[in-house]
Amino acid sequence: MRKYMTGFVLVALVAGQGCQCCGSRSCPPSGASAYGPVESFFARPVFHPFAPRATVAVPPPGAVVVPPNGLPQGAPVVTPEAPVPGIPAPDIRNYTPPTDPNPPAWRPSPDSSGRIVPEPDPRRGKAGSDERSTTPAMPVGIPQFAEIKKNVASGLRPTHLEGLQWLKDNGYRTALYIKAPGDSDDADRKQFEEKCGMKYASLTVSPDTLSLELVDQFNAMIDPANRPLFIYDKDGSLAGALWYLHFRMVDQQSDENARAAAARIGLKEEHKDLWVAIQKILSGKR
């Protein structure tokens, strides 16, 4: 009897308490509500009283809160592919580039017909033409050609007729051949005088015959009346010796500068016999 009474009391207590969510006795049965299913009382999580609670950082008053994505709160997120609202996409059809009111100076100027006229090329013979200058800057067929003074050049014996033609085309009037004893100058004289119409002269020089008289003759040939003048020999040593004495005695250059200039012409340190003859002339023994 006591067992049945205990069960009756428990049922009465549960019925007297009503609904656990709102306290109403007319609440829908467990598991259903007006807003959908209701969780069971026994399915709710139970928090231990000693379990640590999560802390939420509260920003101070006036602080600007920036979310992790770097945009202000409430700002719309625009992807690079999506167009910006309110700005129409540019229309590139029939695009005409803007005209420059002040074109750079390097641009070719148009002529009266509006056609672009290229700037003249200084390397060409005529402005706007494809014809280049037929005269090269340096002669072909004259090794070690170099201008020593104004309108006075030195080099080795011409090896091609093109070199002689270059001298003629560039207005050279006189040719001076510094030859060794026993060398003939008949062929050279014929080439320069008959084919080029130039005056021709020669000096015979060797370490034994090098003298102050030859130096004076060489200096006289450099007179402006014979310019433009071309002086040559076979290897540059004989002409270099006369040029060295001219630099020292006429131009009053130092030994160092005269040696450097004569070396470029062809007088080297190994030409010891010529250097001995040069020192004798400078010391007045010849």
pLDDT in tens, 171-204: 999 999 999 999 999 999 999 999 899 999 999 9
pLDDT at 146: 95
Handedness of CA 214, 215, 220, 226 (dihedral sign): positive
CATH of 146-282, one of 1.10.10.60, 3.10.450.200, 1.10.3720.10, 3.90.190.10: 3.90.190.10
Structure tokens at 74: 């409430």
pLDDT band at 147 (very low <50, low <70, confident <90, very high): very high
pLDDT in tens, 246-260: 999 999 999 999 999
Q: What number is the average pLDDT over the span 253-270? A: 96
pLDDT at 73: 57
pLDDT at 91: 58
pLDDT band at 65 (very low <50, low <70, confident <90, very high): low
* Distance between CA atoms of residues 86 and 36, nearest Å: 43
pLDDT at 131 > cutoff 50: no
Q: Is 284 left (phi over 0), alpha (psi -120 to 50) or beta?
A: left
Per cent of the chain over pLDDT 90 is 48
pLDDT at 113 > cutoff 70: no
pLDDT in tens, 12-38: 555 555 555 555 555 555 544 444 454
pLDDT at 216 > cutoff 60: yes
pLDDT band at 44 (very low <50, low <70, confident <90, very high): low
pLDDT at 138: 78
Render the burial of 41-77: b for 16+ CB within 10 Å, e for the rest: eeeeeeeeeeeeeeeeeeeeeeeeeeeeeeeeeeeee
Instruction: Report the mean per-residue pLDDT for the chain.
Output: 75
Structure tokens at 114: 């509006």
pLDDT at 45: 55
Return the domain boundaries, the chain.
Answer: 146-282
pLDDT at 275 > cutoff 80: yes
CA distances from 73 to 64, 65, 83, 85 (A): 10, 8, 21, 19
Q: What number is the average pLDDT over the span 103-128? A: 48
Q: Which one, of 261, 212, 204, 262, lies nearest residue 233 by Cα?
A: 204
pLDDT band at 130 (very low <50, low <70, confident <90, very high): very low
